[in-house]
């Protein structure tokens, strides 16, 4: 019996695996403009943020953090989105500036994911820190999905703008990675076609080096792989 199964054996390991697969497959990007009230309440937000804490973290540096942007301060973000656009394009039209501002007001719950490339042990490089940040945000998205919320990650050039960096008090070693938006999905697109295992898995062989796909023809493959 798996450690995930409760003492009464009510949830079998297979059920747990099915649940996990269903949860992962049901997460899909819902663009922030389609995320409306209600967003997570305080208890749900705590649950969602707790999920991020389960991410693997080499050296336990906690190199990433989340900055919540409550609705009453979205105007500050809106001004930075507009300023970032004007910095990139001095000829931006008023309606384009307005569109840039409007993006700050879209989802009921908005956070910025930041990674610090220098915090703690310098032996833990940026790639490892980014991986930890990616795992944390995936955990968070899955918990939000489990609670019935739609979600999206969004990036964009404004993340690098000096004004936005100032607003979020980012240090020289901080990188703003993406915004995380959560809310109630007003509409959903059909689930996108996911890649299949053979699209991203290969295996190492003694004679031919790396070969595409996963060779399950050998009975020992699944356990011998690792």
In the complex, minimum distance from the CB of residue 203 to ligand FMN, in angstroms, rounded to a whole number: 26
In the complex, minimum distance from the CB of residue 85 to ligand FMN, in angstroms, rounded to a whole number: 14
Q: Which is nearer to ligand FMN, 90 or 193 (CB)?
A: 193
Q: Which is nearer to ligand FMN, 54 or 155 (CB)?
A: 155
Q: Which is nearer to ligand FMN, 12 or 22 (CB)?
A: 22
- Greatest Cα pair distance, the chain, in angstroms, is 67
- CA-to-CA distance for 101 and 95, rounded, in angstroms? 10
How many residues in the chain?
A: 226
Q: Which is nearer to ligand FMN, 117 or 156 (CB)?
A: 156
Q: Are 142 and 52 in contact (CB under 8 A)?
A: no
In the complex, minimum distance from the CB of residue 126 to ligand FMN, in angstroms, rounded to a whole number: 15
Judged by the rule CB under 6 A, the positions of this chain that interact with ligand FMN are: 28-29, 31, 153-156, 178, 192
Q: Which is nearer to ligand FMN, 124 or 177 (CB)?
A: 177
In the complex, minimum distance from the CB of residue 137 to ligand FMN, in angstroms, rounded to a whole number: 8
In the complex, minimum distance from the CB of residue 104 to ligand FMN, in angstroms, rounded to a whole number: 14
């Amino acid at each position: 019996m798996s450690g995930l199964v409760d003492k009464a054996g009510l949830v079998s390991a297979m059920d747990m695996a099915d649940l996990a697969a269903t949860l992962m497959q049901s997460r899909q990007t819902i663009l922030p403009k389609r995320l409306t009230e209600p967003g997570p309440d305080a208890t749900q937000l705590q649950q969602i943020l707790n999920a991020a804490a389960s991410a693997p973290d080499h050296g336990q540096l906690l190199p990433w953090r989340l900055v919540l942007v409550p609705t009453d301060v979205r105007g500050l973000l809106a001004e930075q989105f507009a300023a970032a656009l004007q910095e990139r394009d001095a000829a931006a039209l008023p309606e384009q500036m307005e569109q840039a501002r409007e993006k700050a007001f879209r989802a009921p719950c908005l956070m910025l994911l930041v990674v610090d490339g220098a915090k703690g042990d310098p032996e833990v490089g940026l790639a490892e820190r980014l991986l930890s940040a990616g795992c944390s945000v995936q955990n968070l998205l899955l918990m939000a999905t489990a609670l019935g919320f739609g979600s999206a990650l969004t990036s964009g050039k404004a993340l690098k703008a000096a004004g936005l960096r100032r607003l979020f008090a980012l240090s020289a070693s901080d990188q703003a990675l993406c915004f995380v938006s959560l809310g109630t999905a007003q509409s959903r697109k059909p689930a996108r076609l996911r890649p299949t295992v053979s699209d991203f898995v290969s295996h190492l062989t003694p004679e031919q080096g790396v070969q595409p796909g996963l060779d399950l023809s050998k009975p020992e493959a699944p356990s011998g792989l690792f």
